[in-house]
Amino acid sequence: MSLKEFALDRIKDFFIITTLVNIVMFVLGTIYQHGQLFSYEVLLLPPLYGFFGTLPSWITYSRRELQAKQLFIRKIFKVLALEVLLILITFPGEMLCKENLGMILSFAISIMVVYFLVLLISWLLEKKRADQMMKDLEIYQQTDDY
């Protein structure tokens, strides 16, 4: 995969992540901090999480085709880096303590849910594109005179 294609896929992932982070923030906020009011600065959080959520994806980039085992190992590192990065950004310093363990675990589970939803949505979009290409190819083959 070329660097340009990889970067375009990360941009697509950014927007999917940003949308899903909005939903997760609503759900977790309703559970843990119901009724709390926020300032306009909180609107920057989903794009920031989207940006930081795409950074570990660069672990999986390679100019050449990776073997299945290599890709699997890189994806494991990607998920671990994603979890650690986002938890450390969200719970800096003293906030990373035993009292916040329930919230941290909920957040970690939310990261995994968003991660798998991004994979699912990306797969569905790619499948739709591939199906359309196959239909176009069939039409082309039927109209082409050999």
- Secondary structure (DSSP) of 28-42: HHHHHSTT----GGG
If one counts every other C-beta atom within 10 angstroms of the C-beta of residue 96, the result is: 13
> Which region, left, alpha or beta, applies to residue 62 given φ > 0 means left and ψ of -120 to 50 means alpha?
beta
Output the pLDDT for position 109: 93
Return the pLDDT at 112: 92
Q: What is the pLDDT of residue 60?
A: 85
**Residues 34/63, Cβ–Cβ less than 8 Å:** no
| Count of Cβ atoms closer than 10 Å to residue 56 Cβ | 21
- Amino acid identity at 63: R
pLDDT at 145: 57
Residue 99 is predicted with a pLDDT of 83
Q: What per-residue confidence (pLDDT) applies to 2?
A: 83
Counting as low any pLDDT under 50, the low residues of the chain are none
Each as own residue / partner, the long-range contacts of residues 119-128 (CB below 8 Å, 24 or more positions apart, any chain) are 121/16, 122/9, 122/12, 122/13, 122/16, 125/12
CA 109 to chain centroid:
13
Contacts by 3-8 with C-beta closer than 8 Å and gap 24+? Answer: 3/61, 3/63, 6/61
Supply the pLDDT for residue 127.
Answer: 94
| The predicted structure's pLDDT at residue 142 | 86
